[in-house]
Amino acid sequence: MLRYQWEDAIRFWNSKKREDRERVGTSNRQKQKFTHTAGSRSFACVAQAAEASSGQKVGRLQLFDITHRKKDGTPMTSEAAEIMEKLKDKKAEYEATASTDSSVNFEDIDNRIINEVLGPERYGRVRFQGSGVNPTQYFGSTSHQYMPSGSQSQAEVQRLKDQIVQIQASTDEQISQLRAEAVAREAEAAAMEAEQNRKYNELQLQLQSMMTIFQQFQNPPS
């Protein structure tokens, strides 16, 4: 890290802007109803490990259960426990229906339950599948069944637009700040160079003066 980068980092950590960001981050984390326990592992890795351990395929409902429990087996939060209970009840309902209705697709039950309990999927992502998996890839031709309705789509589009505007505003602010800091550094560097030149010129004058005096001593007037 260059010296000016280190100085910029120190200024940022001591700035109100950093405090505001930390406050927003803390507030957002507190608003989360439940958090997963996968940590840095992807959901795919968690599912793969569970499948290797049990020898059975891990569905989305089971993956939610695995990634939202503490080490002692209890749910992460009361909200997570409530969601688990709703998912369990819905699964029992679907299984009861499937026992008398051959048209029910067992492979699709988890998707329908999650959609009913947690709401439609967001664009560009699928719950409990991590980044890089979108609804079309995961659900195929039936992806529209799990996406928001018309009014929900408009609300989601507006939310994304607002988010883009906020990101753009934040980016513009950061760019302006970086430019201002760059200008300030250039001005500071120019001032330092001017000061060094002034001192150099003074030393040159002093040296010339000393040389003149020395020559006068070497060649005294007759």
130, 155: one domain: no
Is residue 16 within 8 A of residue 102, CB to CB? The reply is: no
In a domain, 42, yes or no: yes
Structure tokens at 207: 């040296």
Q: Is 101 helix (H, G, I), strand (E, B) or coil?
A: coil
Name the average pLDDT for the chain. Answer: 78
Structural domain including 124 reads: 33-147
In a domain, 69, yes or no: yes
In a domain, 133, yes or no: yes
In a domain, 27, yes or no: no
109, 187: one domain: no
Would you say the pTM of this structure is higher than 0.95?
no
The residue-averaged pLDDT of 10-31 equals: 76
130, 179: one domain: no
pLDDT tens, residue by residue, 58-68: 888 888 888 88
105, 164: one domain: no
pLDDT tens, residue by residue, 156-181: 677 777 778 788 888 888 888 888 88
What's the confidence (pLDDT) of residue 151? 53
What's the confidence (pLDDT) of residue 85? 92
The rounded radius of gyration (Å) of the Cα atoms in the chain is 33
43, 137: one domain: yes
Highest mean pLDDT: which of 44-48, 154-158, 195-199?
Answer: 195-199
What sign for the dihedral angle of Cα 168, 169, 172, 177? negative
pLDDT tens, residue by residue, 98-121: 777 776 666 678 888 888 888 877
